[in-house]
Amino acid sequence: MGVMLVLMLPLLLLGISGLLFIYQEVSRLWSKSAVQNKVVVITDALSELGKECARLFHTGGARLVLCGKNWEKLESLYDSLISVADPSKTFTPKLVLLDLSDISCVQDVAKEVLDCYGCVDILINNASVKVKGPAHKISLELDRKIMNANYLGPITLTKVLLPNMISRRTGQIVLVNSIQGKFGLPFRTAYAASKHAALGFFDCLRAEVEEYDVVVSTVSPVFIRSHHAHPERGNWSASIWKFFSRKLTQGEHPVEVAEEVMSTVRRRKQEVLMANPIPRAAVYIRALFPEFFFAVVACGVKDRLSVPGEG
């Protein structure tokens, strides 16, 4: 009996590996069919996440509209996509200069896209501007810039493209947001406020457009780290905040987030929270035990202010 078990174990492992491979291949083909021939607009396509989304959706056969603030970098992204994809199975991406913090140009860009393709099937609101510092040291002008880029810009673009989706009774809007749309952290007042506002808008919009078969999705990672980011090493004193903060700041790799965005589009999911157990639990602690949550966060601020050089 023991010998048979030993002989069957490799076969069992081989069978499981084969099933996993088949599942991955089916998922990959399913993802491609979900975006093939679809007009997909990606804002801030020059960010790490934007580039990864562009790569996935381009190889999937989407008609890409890549938005960014730098024309030379957009052309470089264009060349990298064209060089690795099969031209017989992909479409030439359209490049568009767009700075979402400049609200006056957003409507013109949206109309340009509609004039080019006649519709937009999928809008990926990816653009995001970050700032970190004490609230009283951040100017109102910077507050406005953050709010324009993270909130007013995306909703302006959405509002211009939305009537087309409603009239066609199809479409999907994906907001790449942040866990700070769920709760705020110290020294990120402007950023957290903009993410709260964006999440509130798109949560309301989801209910409004459901009857038109337009899907509104939010993908909220803890944060998106760069390809070469290393774990943060500080000299904070030992505390509960130290444990909490380090777990909270372990962000997602751009490739992982891009794959989740593709999965969200394919499965038409409404809300995705990309977080390990600690920040995921923090969302519920903030809702159920706010006083405890605020005490932990305040403790972290005191620890940081007590460290020389971290005023």
Catalytic positions are: 191
Structure token pair of residue 115: 């004039």
What span, in angstroms and rounded, lies between the C-alpha atoms of 179 and 279? 8
Half-sphere exposure of 215 (CA within 13 A, CB side): 17
> Which residue in this structure is represented by tokens 């950023």?
191
Closest CA to 77 of 86, 89, 67: 67
